[in-house]
Amino acid sequence: MSYKFTKWLILIVPTLVVGVWEVVRHQFLMPYVSMELGNVLTPILLFAVSITLLYRWFAYLERMQEELQRERALKARLEQREQLARELHDGIAQSLFLLSVKVDRAERRQPASNGAYDWNELRKTIHEVNRYVREAISDLRIPPNVKEGETDETSMSALIRRIAAEQQLTLRLDWHLEETNWLPKAKMELLSCVREAVVNAAKHAGVQDIEITSWGDNRDFVMKIIDHGCGFAPEDAVNLRRYGLRIMRERANEMGWELLVASQTGRTTIEIRGGDGCDEGPGTGR
């Protein structure tokens, strides 16, 4: 029996049994069964039908529900495996192949160049592979329901707290960003930019804490990541060897956002602006 057919049987059979019993009782059993006895026998008959038929059908429905849940869980695992395989193939595997080609080329050119070979391309490829690995791991850590609806555990603010905790940084979070109506791609790109900024601050700025401030919505927003570390020279913000900043800028440009970087000794600010940039901050009555 199908799931739908079983539900209809559960709804209809008790009504039919009681109806048939009442017709038979009033048409044929009135000389033998009094009204008082008939009123007592009706719930007993209904209980007997429920125990014999309905209980079995309810158990059948429960088994079908359990099988459906197992199939859904299996499908989710298969989709996750497929996603990981796609990430490995499209990003990591191809980058590793390219890296091996460049290493072979470097080995052939090294004797002729007398040790003056430019290793920047190799460093760039290695950084790209590292980025692909981090993104694949991050995608798998984010629960699937982040795409369907926010909970306390899957909101962007909670995921940013998790990122800071992974880097063992104290996070000062001033969160006024409306998280509804965000496209999954935009959310992932923004979280990836924040992750890159937090990781860079933890590795290169020598800080123990970090500040993140945000306000706006999915159309117009501002997010600032501030650390009070060693900083870097202004010209380094566009230095091609600053692969982290370069990747964040590429991500922001792809989404149509603006990335602003300001750094000096004791303070580095990375600002991501979307839409009109939300010129007014939180609490200004925007």
Q: Is the pLDDT of residue 99 over 70?
A: yes
Determine the average pLDDT of the residues in 102-120: 68
Kindly report, residue by residue over 155-210, the tens digit of the pLDDT.
888 889 988 888 889 999 999 999 888 888 888 889 888 988 888 888 877 788 99
Q: What is the pLDDT of residue 134?
A: 64
Q: What is the pLDDT of residue 212?
A: 94
pTM: 0.51
Q: CA–CA distance from 192 to each of 79, 113, 195 (Å)? A: 22, 38, 5
Question: Do residues 14 and 49 touch, judged by C-beta distance below 8 A?
Answer: yes
- Which CATH number applies to 150-274? 3.30.565.10
Domain assignments of the chain as residue spans, ordered by start: 3-73, 150-274
Q: CA–CA distance from 90 to each of 69, 118, 255, 274 (Å)? A: 31, 27, 20, 28
Kindly report, residue by residue over 205-235, the tens digit of the pLDDT.
778 899 999 999 988 999 999 998 887 766 6
Q: What is the pLDDT of residue 1?
A: 67
Determine the average pLDDT of the residues in 238-264: 79
Residue 61, Cβ density class (10 Å: 0-12 exposed, 13-18 middle, ≥19 buried): middle
Kindly report, residue by residue over 114-145, the tens digit of the pLDDT.
655 566 667 766 766 766 666 666 655 555 54
Question: Do residues 166 and 160 touch, judged by C-beta distance below 8 A?
Answer: no
Q: What is the pLDDT of residue 257?
A: 93
Q: What is the pLDDT of residue 284?
A: 42
Kindly report, residue by residue over 11-70, the tens digit of the pLDDT.
788 888 888 888 888 888 888 888 888 888 888 888 888 888 877 878 888 888 888 888
The residue type of 72 is: R
- Comparing 270 with 128, the larger pLDDT belongs to 270
